[in-house]
């Protein structure tokens, strides 16, 4: 004969579990958009930092060699300027050097 559960036994009812699930769902609905927004802002900041770093290394190339690089890879693929390899855009775009030997933030929009 199966044991019957009496009122003094501890446990959760289906209604209590449903309330907990609804509360967790509401908290997730609030938190997830904020996390996604923070991730996007972090990627933008990484990209801006990469652009500043590449521009400074282009200037260092000019100061070291006396000439501007003909193409960006002369700087980004040179281990003297980027020993850990070239910086990559977190959005998967490619950095491009303008005719004034800069990585232009206006051309590299997200």
Q: Where are the domains of the chain?
A: 32-110
pTM of the predicted model as reported, rounded to 2 decimal places: 0.66
Q: Residue 110: what pLDDT?
A: 60
- Cβ–Cβ under 8 Å, residues 76 and 54: yes
> Which tokens hold the place of 15?
């209604």
What is the dotted CATH code of the domain comprising 32-110?
3.30.1300
Q: Residue 36: what pLDDT?
A: 78
Mean pLDDT by 10 residues, the chain (110 residues): 62 90 92 82 92 96 96 94 93 91 73
Residues with Cβ within 8 Å of 103's Cβ and at least 6 positions away in sequence, in order, are 51, 54, 55, 58, 72, 95, 96, 97
> Which tokens hold the place of 38?
């923070």
d(CA 19, CA 31): 18
């Amino acid at each position: 004969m199966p044991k019957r559960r009496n009122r003094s036994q501890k446990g959760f009812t289906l209604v209590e579990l449903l309330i907990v699930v609804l509360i967790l769902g509401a908290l997730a609905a609030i938190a997830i958009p904020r996390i996604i927004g923070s991730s996007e802002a972090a990627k933008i900041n990484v990209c801006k930092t990469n652009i500043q770093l590449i521009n400074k290394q282009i200037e260092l190339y000019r100061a070291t060699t006396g000439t501007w690089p003909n193409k960006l890879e002369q700087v980004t693929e040179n281990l003297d300027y980027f020993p850990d390899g070239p910086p990559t855009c977190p959005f998967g775009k490619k950095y491009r050097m303008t005719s004034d030997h800069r990585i232009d933030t206006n051309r590299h929009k997200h």
